[in-house]
Amino acid sequence: MDLLDLVKGQLGQAAMQQIAKQIGGSPQQVSTATDGVLSTLMSALAKNTKSQEGASSLLNALDNDHDGGVLDNLDDLIGGNTAGINPRAANGAGILKHLLGNNQSSAVDMISKMSGLGGNQAGSLMTMLAPVLMGMLGKQKRQNNLDVGGLANLLNQQTHQRRSSGNPLFDMANKFLDADGDGSAVDDIMSKVGGGLLRSLFR
């Protein structure tokens, strides 16, 4: 099981085209940015669960607000029609604030530079995708009856597998989250990790 592949599979081509139409940008830019957003958020989730308090907080959030129901309403979520969705499950801005804190604007900047999307476009995409990732995580938690330890193990296994495979996006996300968060590290990270990645993606 790979959570990021599950999320991308859940979205599918039609949803990705809808997202590209919604926020603007080419399908290639949106696809690249989606990989970057999901990698960053997954790394942030795994980092948060390294403490017992963080893991318990995430488990409670999944139990109370993110049972996976949002995955049945992706068209409405992407289109901004969230009247029939649990408000907390659809609150991408709130999820990002909790996961990224003061790093959020720098993360948006990183995704923008990596994909070629504008900052507002990258921010909108991140806000759309955060509830989807949380919904998928909640669904896996429910289906596999995960407790605090199981949830932390799942997330850390996912990040370890991605990093072991040499995934450059995960490497970038982890370097970013390990930085001090003042935004000054983004250009340095992009130059060390993202330059070759950008050339390979858009050549």
Whole-number average pLDDT of the chain: 83
Model confidence band, residue 197 (pLDDT cutoffs 50, 70, 90): very low
Within 8 A by CB and 6+ apart from 80, the residues are none
Q: Is 86 left (phi over 0), alpha (psi -120 to 50) or beta?
A: beta
Specify the pLDDT at position 175: 75
Both tokens assigned to 119:
């900052």
Give the residue, 170 or 103, on which the prediction is more confident. Answer: 103
Q: pTM for the complete prediction?
A: 0.84
Q: How many residues does the structure list for the chain? A: 203
Residue 78 corresponds to which tokens in the numbers above?
Answer: 């992407």
Q: Does the structure show a pLDDT above 60 at 60? A: yes
Instruction: Give 122-150 pLDDT, tens digit per residue.
Output: 999 999 999 999 999 999 999 999 999 99
pLDDT of residue 97: 92
Q: Which residues contact 131 (CB under 8 A, 6 or more apart)?
A: 66, 70, 77, 89, 90, 91, 92, 95
Residue given tokens 């948006």 in the structure block? 108
* Segment of 112-126, 155-169, 178-192 carrying the highest mean pLDDT: 112-126
Question: Residue 166, Cβ neighbours under 10 Å: how many?
Answer: 8
SS3 assignment, position 179:
coil
CB 15 within 8 A of CB 7: no
- Is the CB of residue 125 less than 8 Å from the CB of residue 117? yes
pLDDT at 200 over 50: no
Confidence of residue 192 (pLDDT cuts 50, 70, 90): very low
Q: What is the pLDDT of residue 189?
A: 45
3-state class (DSSP) for residue 3 = helix
